[in-house]
Structure formats: C-alpha cells, structure tokens
A and B are shown apart, each in its own frame.
Chain A
Amino acid sequence: MTKRTQPALDYRSVELDGMRYVILRESAFELLCGKARLGTRVAPPNEATAAPGLDLDRASLAEKLVRRRRAAGLSQAELARRAGVRPETLNRIERGRTTPDFATVRKLVVAMNAAEHERLTVSTSTQNDKETSHADGE
C-alpha cells in the first residue's frame, strides 16, 4: 500500500482585534469552497474596514506613537492622563488593536509636543542654572 502524499496547503494567519484570520491563495480558497460545495460572496465593507489602508495605517501608527511617546519621556499612563484619553484606549492603540480617530490622535500629539517642550525648557533652564551657579562660584 503506497501512501499518497497530500499536497500541502500554504497559508498564513493574522490576528486582528482578537480574531484570528487565515490568509491563503485565492485559488486554494476557491478549491476548498468547491470541495465543500460552498458558494462564496465578498462581504460588504463594514465601518471598521471601509477606510482604505486602515489596517496598515494602524500598525505603522502604533509603532510611531510608541516611539514618539518614549522620545517625549512619557509613560503610557502619563500620556493618557495628559491627553485626556482613557489608559485602556491608549494601550489598545499602541498595540495596534484599534484605530483612533483624528481627534484622539491630535490630543496625543498635542500632549506629546507639550511634554517634549517641557523637557527642552527644563533642560535648558537646568543648564542656565548650572552656568549661573558656575558664574557665582567664580
């Protein structure tokens, strides 16, 4: 008895919003549907996927926000507090689990800019203090 090797089905999987999805070749999908005698239809776009490029945007946005927040020297909780955004929301945004609206992104940007500005001001004034005390010492 010779065993026939089954052709392997290549696929990848992704997790979006806590749901796992399988990505496979369209031809393989059609083959499977054919075998299962299932008709196919393209799901109508829903609100979450209607905006083009949104999923890609979410990942790159999350990455950039984390980088910017760290550059501003803020913890997630601190940024959430300053921006008036719920900490859980910011956490979800930074993990790429949700796409924030422009108003939310804006609050975050404003808070991060302010924090960066404060840091610059503080470091400059500390430097000035040092220079002053140095001058005093002479």
Chain B
Amino acid sequence: MPMESNVSCGVLSSRDQVLAEVKKIVAEHSDLAASEIQEGHRLIDDLGCDSLDVVEIAMEVEEEFGIDVPDDLTDNSQTVGEVVEGVVQLLRQSQAGD
C-alpha cells in the first residue's frame, strides 16, 4: 500500500477525502457514526437509510463537491464505496472538462 500511495499520491488522497466526506454525510442519515461506516455498507440494507435519505445524501454530495449526481448513479450505488467511486469519477470528469 505505501508503494502505491507513492505512485498516485494525489488521486489516493483525494479519494480518501471523498470517502471521509461521504461517510460524514451518510452518518447524518444513519444510525452509525462516521467512524463506524465502512465502504462495503449498503445504504438501505445496512445503514437503515430509505430512498428519501438516499436522495438527500445525493443532494448533499452535490453541494459538497460541486457536481451533478445523475439519477442512474443514485439508482446503481448501493454501497458507500460505490457512492465514493461515482463521486471520484464525476470529479475527474468535471476536472477534465475544465
């Protein structure tokens, strides 16, 4: 792992930042604290979110990262890790577009 982080430090650290931020947002809609939330947790099944929570999480993510979260990402992201991946990709796309 340390080897990898040397190679792509910027990308890794930004993914970690995204993960930390997403955990914080998700924690507000969940019974778990941000520190207890893991990437493999499913929003609806493991964290007790309902679809209203999921939509609000998506909207808070948009505000936090300044991106538009398309509906299909909301539909397809079941776990915290999948949300993070989606955000990282959207951030990359928006940076590439700049």
Question: Which DSSP category, helix, strand, loop or mixed, fits chain A's interface?
Answer: helix
B48-84 near A? 1/0 per residue, CB < 8 Å: 0011101110110000000000010011000000000
Q: Assuming A52-B45, A53-B45, A106-B58, is B52 touching A61 (CB within 8 A)?
A: yes
Size band of the B side of the interface? 10 to 19
Residue B44, interface by CB 8 Å:
yes
How far apart are the CA atoms of A86 and B71 in the complex, in Å? 20
How far apart are the CA atoms of A11 and B45 in the complex, in Å? 27
B75 surroundings in chain A (CB, below 8 A): 101-102
A90 to chain B, nearest CB (A): 14
Q: Let me know if A57 and B59 touch, CB within 8 A.
A: no
Q: Let me know if A102 and B51 touch, CB within 8 A.
A: yes
Within the complex, which residue of B51, B59, B71, B74 is in contact with A61, where a contact is CB–CB below 8 Å?
A: B51
B20-67: which have CB < 8 Å to A? 44-45, 50-52, 54-56, 58-59
10 A-B contact pairs sorted by A residue (CB < 8 Å): A53-B44, A61-B50, A61-B51, A61-B52, A64-B50, A101-B71, A102-B54, A102-B55, A105-B51, A106-B58
Interface residues of A, Cβ cutoff 8 Å to B: 51-53, 57, 60-61, 64-65, 68, 99-103, 105-106, 109-110
Given contacts A57-B51, A61-B52, A102-B51, 20 further A-B contacts (CB under 8 A): A51-B44, A53-B44, A57-B44, A60-B50, A61-B51, A64-B50, A64-B52, A99-B51, A100-B51, A101-B71, A102-B54, A102-B71, A102-B74, A102-B75, A103-B71, A106-B55, A106-B59, A109-B55, A109-B56, A110-B59
